[in-house]
Structure 1
């Protein structure tokens, strides 16, 4: 029995002369193949950002212009009444001297259906938002519209955003268009890295009309980024996006930003009848 056990132990502990561990085999890969793998893998690495004493928002944006993104999930049987109510809400707010204006108003065509998005711009920073909140909370007509609208909603969400400084200035569109909002949830601490890459990436599409707005969150769901694009239709969207991939350098910018993303989704939007941008 002792001799048998000794033989078994020798089988498990001994290695044939030709045995090569997996790690050694990988290290002995030909230099040409290794260079190919390193070139592909290096595009997926997140480049290190040096520490800074400046806030990320100060480096990326003008903090005196705040954007408010309202997201309303509407009861399916109340969409028409809801839009009529919000139209009156816009008229009331714009009739007051509140240093804010509606930039755009949309309903979702593809994505989260029965959803409406409203984008407001405040000049004067958060002081203007504080003043508007106080003023409207005491306005009986505003509160009445708000109470009526609440009965038409399933849920709602509010975010305060800053615009990326490298994004083209928002310009209102006319005619018949669709909009796409691509929303990203980033890994905490990667906003500067995102901005560094997209400051280059936006140049590949700046000559076209489709860039509408680019934002990152200040209050609400943090480390959220929203890119908004404008197209004539879905076919134009397809052709424009495919053309971007044919430009040298676009793929590299995408490769650097993909590792920063934890979650992303997109929605196709249609402007409402009362939206300033169409």
Structure 2
């Protein structure tokens, strides 16, 4: 009995001193900030773009009274025509729920915008995104054009591709080839998708910076590393509308 107790004591002591190894299902840095961004894409019926924009320009103040509009753009290049893209900011999901209830009861918004404009919209897409933990939303120094680059990454999350992707983004920014507005990852929508919103003075300055970066070995090396985790990518050139907070 004494030997049994002695052996048991040694076993318990060993378990106490041994490091505790725990498996983790985390896919990267955790999102502690509840703030998220809703990406909305509207596809309008052909020839209805001007009518829609004029109406929303007159009435957008009714909608922004309920929540913050980050930016509103006309898609110049990339994908289908007659496309609008806009970003809305919410403190958390409860905040969005409150806003949606409020605008549904806002008679002025419903009558002046929703009812007359609903027939002009052919299709809508919504996604919920967070800013990546190492990025904050930046405001460009002056008016310009925007590029939304969309990266479909391999499953595994930022734990797999986050560091390489960050180095690729920073290579472009730190070397002055373009200006970063924000990097977002999807929470609801196509998972493992990352959106990068860039700003340039013009489409021509964007093209010039892109050509120079392709010849810079530092950028090439960073991009080549990130590409190992890439499934596909696409982009859109965005022109801010007159009432967009981001110009």
Is residue 172–residue 276 contact of structure 1 (8 Å, CA) maintained in 2? no
Is residue 38–residue 87 contact of structure 2 (8 Å, CA) maintained in 1? yes
User: For residues 220-259 of structure 1, what are the structure 2 equivalents within 5 Å?
Assistant: 220-259=189-228
From 126, 144, 150, the equivalent of 2:93 is 126
Aligned residue in 2 for 1:203: 170
Is 2:9 the partner of 1:52?
A: no
Aligned residue in 1 for 2:40: 70
Is residue 150–residue 194 contact of structure 2 (8 Å, CA) maintained in 1? yes
Could you tell me which runs of 5 or more consecutive residues in structure 2 were left unpaired when the two chains were aligned. 1-22
Q: 1:89 to 1:129 in 2, by over 3 A?
A: farther
From 144, 148, 162, the equivalent of 2:116 is 148
Specify the SS of the correspondent of 1:52: coil
Specify the SS of the correspondent of 1:103: strand
CA shift for structure 1 position 102:
0.9
Which whole-Å CA distance do the structure 2 matches of 1:68 and 1:88 have between them? 22
Q: 1:199 to 1:68 in 2, by over 3 A?
A: same
Is residue 62–residue 162 contact of structure 1 (8 Å, CA) maintained in 2? no
User: For residues 95-174 of structure 1, what are the structure 2 equivalents within 5 Å?
Assistant: 95-96=65-66, 100-111=67-78, 112-123=80-91, 125-144=92-111, 145-174=113-142
Q: 1:78 to 1:173 in 2, by over 3 A?
A: farther
How many residue pairs match? The answer is: 221
Q: If the length of structure 2 is used for normalisation, what is the TM-score?
A: 0.80
Which whole-Å CA distance do the structure 1 matches of 2:102 and 2:168 have between them? 41
Is residue 27–residue 160 contact of structure 2 (8 Å, CA) maintained in 1? no
From 64, 70, 76, the equivalent of 1:94 is 64
Is residue 104–residue 119 contact of structure 1 (8 Å, CA) maintained in 2? yes
Specify the SS of the correspondent of 1:179: strand
Which whole-Å CA distance do the structure 2 matches of 1:210 and 1:172 have between them? 8
Specify the SS of the correspondent of 1:230: strand
Is residue 168–residue 211 contact of structure 1 (8 Å, CA) maintained in 2? no
Which whole-Å CA distance do the structure 1 matches of 2:214 and 2:192 have between them? 26
Which whole-Å CA distance do the structure 2 matches of 1:81 and 1:225 have between them? 32
Aligned residue in 2 for 1:274: 243
Which whole-Å CA distance do the structure 2 matches of 1:168 and 1:206 have between them? 14
Q: 1:89 to 1:220 in 2, by over 3 A?
A: farther
Larger Rg: 1
Specify the SS of the correspondent of 2:75: strand
Aligned residue in 1 for 2:11: none
Is residue 27–residue 159 contact of structure 2 (8 Å, CA) maintained in 1? no
Is residue 75–residue 153 contact of structure 1 (8 Å, CA) maintained in 2? yes
262-271 or 193-202: bigger deviation: 193-202
